[in-house]
């Protein structure tokens, strides 16, 4: 956003061109099937960018959280407490495109981009993070186990070669 804003402020692009290019650039950065970037307006709760086109151009409060606040209000409260205009909230929501309406825990992050009055954000389903963690952990454990086994084989072969050169166990030779 800062890059496209700098093009606007330098006069190389109009605001509309810079915002359109910024939305295009951010929208192209999808993170898998369930994780995507979105942009809301700071004041009137409109989506400027969202992969679901039906949510664009009209007020969207993001739903009601268990504490009674809207998702947008939770973002605003978290951003108001933030020293660096960045905030994270945890919520529960159904996965996009799923017929199953089971609510999954999700970690969303947002920031204020005040020059354009935007609140860009992204969310990650925590079960997706857990699945990726365990997949990577399994790979690391497998690689570590193979390396450990290889090291053990090398140590025992080296021990055997040294004992062969010495003609047996050093303690036996001392007796």
Q: Tens digits of per-residue pLDDT, 18-45? A: 999 999 999 888 766 667 889 999 888 8
> In the structure encoding, which two tokens stand for residue 2, read together?
């800062």
Q: Tens digits of per-residue pLDDT, 38-69? A: 999 988 889 999 888 888 888 888 888 888 99
Q: Tens digits of per-residue pLDDT, 120-165? A: 999 888 988 899 999 999 999 999 999 999 999 999 999 989 888 8
b or e along 75-102 (b: 16 or more beta carbons within 10 Å of the residue's beta carbon)? bbebbeeeeeeebebebebebeeeeeee
Sheet of 47-49, strands arranged across: 47-49, 37-41, 118-125, 104-111, 86-93
pTM beyond 0.75, yes or no:
no
């Amino acid at each position: 956003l800062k890059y496209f804003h700098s093009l606007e402020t330098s006069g190389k692009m109009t605001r509309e061109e810079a915002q359109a290019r910024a939305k295009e650039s951010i929208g192209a950065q999808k993170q898998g099937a369930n994780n995507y970037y979105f942009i809301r307006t700071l004041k009137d709760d409109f989506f400027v960018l969202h992969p679901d086109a039906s949510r664009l151009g009209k007020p969207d409060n993001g739903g009601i959280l268990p504490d009674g606040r809207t998702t947008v209000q939770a973002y605003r409260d978290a951003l108001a407490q933030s020293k660096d205009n960045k905030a994270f909230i945890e919520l529960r929501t159904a996965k996009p495109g799923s017929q199953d309406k089971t609510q999954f825990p999700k970690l969303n992050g947002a920031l204020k981009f005040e020059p354009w009055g935007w609140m860009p954000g992204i969310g990650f389903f925590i079960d997706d993070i857990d699945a990726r963690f365990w997949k990577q952990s399994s790979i690391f454990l497998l690689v570590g186990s193979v390396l450990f086994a290889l090291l053990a084989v090398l140590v025992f072969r080296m021990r055997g070669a040294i004992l062969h050169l010495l003609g047996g166990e050093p303690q036996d030779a001392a007796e």
